[in-house]
Structure 1
Amino acid sequence: MIELLEVKSLSVHAGDQCLLEPLSCTLTAARPLTILGQTGAGKSLLAQAIMGLLPQTLRVEGEVRLNGRSLLTLPMQERRALWGRVLAMLPQEPWHALDPVMRSRRQVSEVHQFVLGLEQEAADQQAELDLQHLGLADALEKIPSQLSGGMAQRVAFVAATAAGGSLLLADEPTKGLDYGRRDQVVQLLQRQLTQGALLTITHDIDVARQLGGDLIVMRRGQVMEQGEAEALLADPQSEYTRELLAADPSCWTAPKQSPQVMEPLIRVEGLSQQRGGKMLFEGLSFELCPHQITGIVGDSGCGKSTLGDLLLGNLQPQAGRVTYQRPFARHQLLKLYQDPPAAFAPGVPLQQLLKDLVRLHDLDASRIPALLERLHLNPQLLTRCSHEVSGGELQRIALLRALLMRPVLLFADEPTSRLDPMTGQQIIELLVEVARDYACAVVLVSHDPVLVDKTCHQIIRL
């Protein structure tokens, strides 16, 4: 095999603090390398250091050699000349990688035009062929907001690889996708191995297992262990790796506790809803009770979030009805969002956002310290803005905000899909506590049927 990329004792520092401890690995053609670990492990720092995308406030030490040529000593202009043509990066969150007002064809066409130098007409034709090849003929004239998560990730993949880069760095490429779309993206990554080398960063154990090849497990900037993926996952030597594997829902062993029998809070009768001429569900009936966790499971686009909008009163049903069995304040019907940053105003300290909430709804601010302790949150986190805390911390702060308002219904829309297994398990355990201790009805949306089966008292499959 041809050695494409060699990393020797690479480390990343912020002043005197070491964010990524010395790491060595080799990327070769046709053999994938996967970095597995929790959020905040330093995985993305490695990819950004290789690409040359780290902020100037961070310092890199060690060596990165591409076909024997040192990358870290290259002038930035020469390094950028490698982007797309040799080094390609597929960032996490396709919504951040794609221009929000540009149609899919043009997203890819620009690569052919400005990186490869094709005339615009030829670039448009090649972009259309590229997208059609991945089953995206219907997406040619759509902007990112009109695409499903899986389609957006495929468009981003086409754009990232259109210039023919032989080395692809994929940063959390399956985050937030349902099982079917996740597997589609894994197949795309495996295709890359026919053209060159692949480095994948993920917190999804199944993705690491499907890709195979070599595996590095990281925690807080340290390599915990590395080796051949199949052998390492079958017999991990590190206690941390064993904990990471045990956090996968398929390994959960704690039995569900039956909820207290109480009168229903919400009754749903004969509910039907269409979207875009497509029937999402029809004649749906069920009840939501205090202390109860109800699971909603199904692929993207099947109507899970739409059902949530109906339960929360944000949308009127086309047929059937949603009846609240007793009066309560409108702000006691709450949603916990899939993407934690989307639920917070950017650039405003979290403490200020909580103060605004307390003032708006006349809440008891004295409950905040106890809730911080219960949710295992450092009070100092509230002095930061939403982008300055981890996804798991921000999701727990979102839960704190909901508990301040004493929720009657908490609709948790894929609350763990963007979190690593250990952090996700913590959030699920907290939701179970919320249902039990606050006499709240919790609706848990997930694309993971195993998680739903092991957590929920009743399950609605769409």
Structure 2
Amino acid sequence: MSALITLDNVTVAAADNVLVQPLSLSVNRGEPLTILGETGSGKSLLAQAIMGTLPASLTMQGTVSIQQQPLDIAARRQLWGKQISMLPQEPWQALDPVMPCEQQVSEVFRYVGNAAAASAQLAARAQLDQVGLSQVSRQLPQQLSGGMAQRVAFAAATAAGAPIIIADEPTKGLDTSQRDGIVQLLKSQTQHGGLLTITHDVDVARQLGGRIMVMRHGQLLESGSAEQVLSQPQAEYTRALINAQPQFWPAATPATAQQPLLDVTDLAQHRGEQLLFQGLSFSLSAGEILGVYGDSGCGKSTLGDTLLGLLPPASGHIKWQQPLHRSQMLKLYQDPPASFSTAVTIGTLLKDLLKRHKLAASAIAPLLRQLNLDAALLNRTAKDVSGGELQRLALLRTMLLSPKFLVADEPSSRLDPITAQQLTQLLVRLAREQQCALVLISHDKIQLQKVCDQIIDLKDYQLREVQA
């Protein structure tokens, strides 16, 4: 089996701090290799080391060979697009927001593949059609769902025919159907090339098959075939990662009867001319957990924004049984980096919040302990902490205001299973303790079944064609 990428004793370090311990591996033609591990385990640093895109503050030691040729950073960069390509975890950061999808793919054919303009355009259309996106050729990335944007990124990454693909958390934040579609695209790559996938999703690793390497804190814990590692894990951490999947969570204790908070009657909402849902009615009490389930684009986030008063209902009524101040009705966002400024430290952001709402600074320390957060994180900016840490800091910021109504919009979809379980169960516990009504939005129905008192499946409130 021919090795397309070989790493020999590769390490990544920041000054004297070794972030990735000496690691050797090979990516073979026709055999997927998946690196599985939690946020902050060093997986993405390894991908950046291979591509030659590590930040200037980090250094790599060891040897990276492509097609069995040891290459330095400059030589590896010369192979971008032609021999090796990277599929990023955030497609919107890789795609030009003001360039139509077809043009983004055609430019790869033209400038990397040296095709003429007309030929590049035709090839781009064929490439998009191959991934089921012929209808979006003239659309901008922000007009697409997460799964569609990732498929555009895949089309661009493979346009110049690179036989090696590195996919860094390619299904992060996607619902099950979108995730499975991306996995099938990735598996097709192994028919003629090599695939290195970095993920915290155990189901993705299982679907890809091939070989798995499990990493934690920059160290390799175990490796082997996907079947062997996932069915008979040897490392305690691997077992914990597998057992942190929602189907293994204990069921939460049901809420006891509490004071009614709001009643929703016959609610309907649109997005432009599209009807998202109609005829939605439910009641919610203090300390109760309501789950909202559905695929991407079905209106879950829109429902949350409507309940928060950020959008007016298309029709129907929302009646509050208790008057709430604006600061008591809050939202926890799916993408924590988008809700924090990176211009100042997190500590400065929290001080501004305390000052604005006349809160005591002494409230921060107990929440840091509850959320298992190091106080030193307050001296960093949002870009210098992991996704799991930043989402817990977002929860800390929210709980400082003692909300009575909280919409948590896919708060764990971008987190590894262990961190996702910890965050979700912590959310539920804090909601119960502080008598806060919690609307938990998720595309994972099993997760909702484990922690919610009631669940709304939005597909039950979508318009269906009447059969003749």
Shorter-normalised TM range: over 0.9
Q: Please give the alpha-carbon distance, in whole angstroms, between the structure 1 residues aligned to 2:242 and 2:316.
A: 43
Provide the residue aligned with 2:112 in structure 1.
115
Q: Please give the alpha-carbon distance, in whole angstroms, between the structure 1 residues aligned to 2:240 and 2:252.
A: 21
Deviation >3 Å, runs of 4+: none
Q: Please give the alpha-carbon distance, in whole angstroms, between the structure 2 residues aligned to 1:58 and 1:341.
A: 22
Tell me how far 1:153 sits from its aligned partner: 0.2
Task: Specify the code of the residue in structure 2 equivalent to 1:167.
Answer: I
Does structure 2 retain, via aligned residues, the 8 Å contact 1:364–1:404? Answer: no
Tell me how far 1:56 sits from its aligned partner: 2.9
Q: Tell me whether 1:174 sits opposite 2:171 in the alignment.
A: yes
Provide the residue aligned with 2:439 in structure 1.
443
Tell me how far 1:114 sits from its aligned partner: 0.7
Q: Tell me whether 1:8 sits opposite 2:5 in the alignment.
A: no
Provide the residue aligned with 1:357 in structure 2.
353
Q: Tell me whether 1:240 sits opposite 2:240 in the alignment.
A: no
Matched-pair identity in %: 53
Secondary structure of the residue aligned to 2:86 is strand
Does structure 2 retain, via aligned residues, the 8 Å contact 1:175–1:418? Answer: yes
Show CA shifts across 1:334-382 (max 9, x none). 0101011111112211111111112222223321111111111111111
Q: Tell me whether 1:43 sits opposite 2:43 in the alignment.
A: yes
Provide the residue aligned with 2:312 in structure 1.
316
Q: Please give the alpha-carbon distance, in whole angstroms, between the structure 1 residues aligned to 2:387 and 2:445.
A: 23
Runs of 5+ in structure 1 lacking a partner?
none
Task: Specify the code of the residue in structure 2 equivalent to 1:439.
Answer: Q
Provide the residue aligned with 1:342 in structure 2.
338
Task: Specify the code of the residue in structure 1 equivalent to 2:399.
Answer: L
Q: Tell me whether 1:457 sits opposite 2:453 in the alignment.
A: yes
Provide the residue aligned with 1:271 in structure 2.
267
Q: Report the number of matched residues.
A: 458
Provide the residue aligned with 2:464 in structure 1.
none
Q: Please give the alpha-carbon distance, in whole angstroms, between the structure 2 residues aligned to 1:136 and 1:99.
A: 17
Tell me how far 1:55 sits from its aligned partner: 2.1
Show CA shifts across 1:166-188 (max 9, x none). 01000000000000000000000
Matches within 5 A, 1:239-318: 239-252=236-249, 254-318=250-314
1:410 to 406, 415, 428: 406
Does structure 2 retain, via aligned residues, the 8 Å contact 1:31–1:214? Answer: yes
Secondary structure of the residue aligned to 1:258 is coil
Provide the residue aligned with 1:90 in structure 2.
87
Q: Please give the alpha-carbon distance, in whole angstroms, between the structure 2 residues aligned to 1:30 and 1:300.
A: 32
1:420 to 398, 416, 419: 416
Tell me how far 1:405 sits from its aligned partner: 0.9
Q: Tell me whether 1:25 sits opposite 2:22 in the alignment.
A: no
Tell me how far 1:214 sits from its aligned partner: 0.4
Q: Please give the alpha-carbon distance, in whole angstroms, between the structure 2 residues aligned to 1:57 and 1:365.
A: 34
Provide the residue aligned with 2:184 in structure 1.
187
TM-score in terms of structure 1 length? 0.97
Q: Please give the alpha-carbon distance, in whole angstroms, between the structure 2 residues aligned to 1:62 and 1:135.
A: 40
Tell me how far 1:79 sits from its aligned partner: 2.4
Show CA shifts across 1:94-145 (max 9, x none). 0111111111011101101111111222211211111112111221111111
Query: Structure 1 residues 289-298 or 118-127, which shifts more?
Result: 118-127
Secondary structure of the residue aligned to 1:85 is coil
Matches within 5 A, 1:363-402: 363-402=359-398
Task: Specify the code of the residue in structure 1 equivalent to 2:33.
Answer: L
Does structure 2 retain, via aligned residues, the 8 Å contact 1:310–1:322? Answer: no
Does structure 2 retain, via aligned residues, the 8 Å contact 1:85–1:163? Answer: yes
Query: Structure 1 residues 148-157 or 393-402, which shifts more?
Result: 393-402
Task: Specify the code of the residue in structure 1 equivalent to 2:67.
Answer: N
Matches within 5 A, 1:198-209: 198-209=195-206
Does structure 2 retain, via aligned residues, the 8 Å contact 1:113–1:123? Answer: yes
2:123 to 98, 121, 126: 126
Q: Tell me whether 1:143 sits opposite 2:140 in the alignment.
A: yes
Q: Please give the alpha-carbon distance, in whole angstroms, between the structure 2 residues aligned to 1:417 and 1:193.
A: 27
Task: Specify the code of the residue in structure 2 equivalent to 1:57.
Answer: S
Label 1:397 to 1:87 Cα distance change in 2 as closer, same or farther (>3 A): same
Task: Specify the code of the residue in structure 1 equivalent to 2:218.
Answer: G
TM-score in terms of structure 2 length? 0.96
Q: Tell me whether 1:217 sits opposite 2:214 in the alignment.
A: yes
Q: Please give the alpha-carbon distance, in whole angstroms, between the structure 1 residues aligned to 2:342 and 2:141.
A: 21
Q: Please give the alpha-carbon distance, in whole angstroms, between the structure 2 residues aligned to 1:265 and 1:68.
A: 65
